[in-house]
């Protein structure tokens, strides 16, 4: 089974037809089962395969949820090896990215937000990036409850740290998550500023033509709605 999971992880990265063949052969339930009772390598590989299958496929994301994959992946965020945690966070991001809300709700109900926040400080560099990307999606749209869960778990300070110190991908995801958290919340806007989030966001605006720049600009535009923070932004030379 471990060898099969490793093989499916590789095959699932090849293309749409190969992904379809894996799904048609019952691959998603089998991979979810591997998450629950496989070896460390088997679990890591199964999570990687599910991540690949979820990319650009609403149907596959739904199938992962129906098979119990969200709960199984959430468990691995705190129980797996560091490598497995990386893959589990990435797979959860894949399953909820662009989703209309059901999978985001399911992840929150399974208790997935606190361990994702914990990965921001305790995970490997890759796990931190994937966790930030998942939190960015979780805080999107009208998910006020998810935003409250993220801030309640202490998510703002480590996201600000990531905004300062991570790779461009990580900084982009952190800026996107903070942007969503800041929207419509003076309390969160002030918390982001208190954690030191304004200066690195201003710096990130210099990454021209990137998603990171767009997210940083969006974050700062939202912070500028706060009169006191608008004054700070003006002092730093940033104008909306």
Q: What is the pLDDT of residue 100?
A: 66
Q: Which residue has the tokens 């009208």?
A: 142
pTM strictly above 0.85: yes
Render pLDDT for 159-203 as a digit per residue (tens, 0 to 9): 999 999 989 999 999 999 999 999 999 999 999 999 999 999 999
What pLDDT shows up at residue 141? 80
CA distance 6 to 20: 17
Maximum Cα–Cα distance across the chain? 60
pLDDT score for 97: 86
Q: Which residue ranges in the chain fall short of pLDDT 70?
A: 99-100
């Amino acid at each position: 089974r471990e060898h099969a999971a490793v093989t499916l992880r590789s095959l699932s990265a090849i293309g749409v037809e190969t992904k379809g063949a894996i799904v048609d052969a019952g691959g998603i339930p089998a991979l979810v089962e591997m998450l629950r009772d496989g070896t460390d390598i088997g679990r890591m590989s199964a999570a990687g395969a599910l991540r690949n299958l979820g990319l650009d496929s609403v149907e596959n994301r739904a199938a992962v949820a129906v098979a119990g994959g969200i709960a199984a992946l959430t468990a691995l965020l705190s129980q797996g090896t560091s490598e497995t945690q990386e893959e589990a966070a990435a797979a959860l991001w894949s399953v909820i990215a662009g989703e209309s809300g059901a999978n985001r709700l399911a992840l929150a109900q399974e208790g997935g937000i606190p361990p994702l926040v914990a990965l921001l400080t305790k995970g490997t560099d890759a796990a931190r990036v994937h966790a930030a990307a998942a939190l960015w999606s979780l805080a999107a749209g009208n998910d006020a409850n998810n935003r409250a869960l993220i801030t309640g778990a202490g998510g703002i300070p480590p996201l600000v740290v990531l905004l300062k110190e991570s790779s461009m991908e990580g900084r982009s995801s952190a800026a996107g998550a903070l942007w969503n958290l800041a929207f419509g919340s003076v309390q969160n806007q002030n918390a982001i500023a208190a954690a030191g989030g304004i200066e690195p966001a201003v710096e990130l605006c210099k990454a021209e033509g990137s998603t990171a720049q767009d997210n940083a600009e969006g974050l700062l535009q939202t912070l500028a709605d706060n009169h006191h923070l608008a004054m700070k932004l003006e002092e730093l030379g940033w104008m909306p």
